[in-house]
């Protein structure tokens, strides 16, 4: 069996999070077959197209965050999140909120000094409007959805430009969701992929 391929990349850009590293993994992680990839700790994940599957190999090296128990994203969840990204791409807050439940909440990391995290459609709507106001353009394209630990991690290719900035951001990021009864119940936007995977690993 061929050794599993991996590639670490680093990236920094204006108005972006601190320099980050993420892992690019080929569809079968360098393994010769689906069963071989799974036997080495890989996982089947639904792609953003919802009708295709790919294999995510276990992350190793400096980007490793520990083994994560992953499961396949349902077509319903993939369709829900694809619709959410369609709303983000058009800055349609109402359409995005329609995909959330009444008690939807924005995740705030413990190290962020903030008031009560936005919760409920009204507060989350204000949060999203403020989010869009901070960008001249914001075009996230989901690449893969990974279900893990009760969360869905979306790997996203982002093209964006901050309000008042001349610089175009193009990078690989992640968003994190919780989905209950066909609706988004919790979300966290624009994080490094390592951070997203660490969040679902630690719960």
Q: Which two structure tokens, joined as six digits, stand for 24?
A: 């690019």
pTM: 0.66
Q: Are 172 and 160 in contact (CB under 8 A)?
A: no
pLDDT single digits (tens) 131-141: 999 999 999 99
Q: Are 127 and 118 in contact (CB under 8 A)?
A: yes
Domain covering 24-202 in this structure, CATH number: 3.10.450.50
Check whether 23 has a pLDDT greater than 50: no
pLDDT single digits (tens) 67-99: 455 567 899 999 999 999 999 999 999 999 999
Strands 183-191 and 100-106: parallel
Length in residues, the chain: 203
Q: Which two structure tokens, joined as six digits, stand for 189?
A: 């936007």
Q: Can you give the pLDDT at residue 135?
A: 94
Q: How far is CA 172 from CA 98, 160, 193, in A?
A: 27, 11, 8
> Which range is most confident: 1-5, 57-61, 185-189, 197-201?
185-189
pLDDT single digits (tens) 148-173: 888 999 999 999 999 999 999 999 99
Torsion of CA 98, 182, 173, 194, to 10 degrees: 140
Map tokens 């197209």 to a residue: 49
């Amino acid at each position: 069996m061929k050794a599993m391929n991996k590639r670490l990349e680093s990236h920094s850009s204006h108005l972006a999070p601190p320099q980050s590293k993420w892992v690019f993994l080929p569809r079968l992680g360098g393994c010769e077959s689906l069963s071989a990839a799974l036997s080495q700790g890989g996982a089947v994940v639904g792609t953003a197209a919802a009708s295709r599957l790919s294999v995510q190999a276990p992350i190793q090296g400096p980007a490793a965050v520990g083994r994560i128990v992953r499961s396949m994203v349902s077509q319903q969840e993939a369709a829900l999140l694809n619709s959410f990204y369609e709303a983000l791409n058009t800055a349609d807050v109402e359409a995005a909120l329609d995909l959330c439940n009444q008690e939807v909440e924005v995740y705030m990391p413990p190290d962020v000094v903030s008031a009560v995290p936005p919760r409920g459609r009204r507060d989350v709507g204000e949060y999203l409007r403020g989010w869009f106001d901070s960008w001249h353009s914001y075009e996230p394209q989901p690449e893969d959805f990974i279900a893990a630990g009760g969360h869905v991690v979306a790997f996203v290719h982002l093209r964006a430009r901050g309000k008042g900035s001349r610089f175009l951001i193009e990078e690989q990021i992640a968003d994190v969701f919780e989905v209950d009864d066909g609706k988004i119940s919790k979300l966290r936007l624009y994080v490094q992929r390592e951070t997203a995977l660490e969040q679902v690993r630690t719960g």
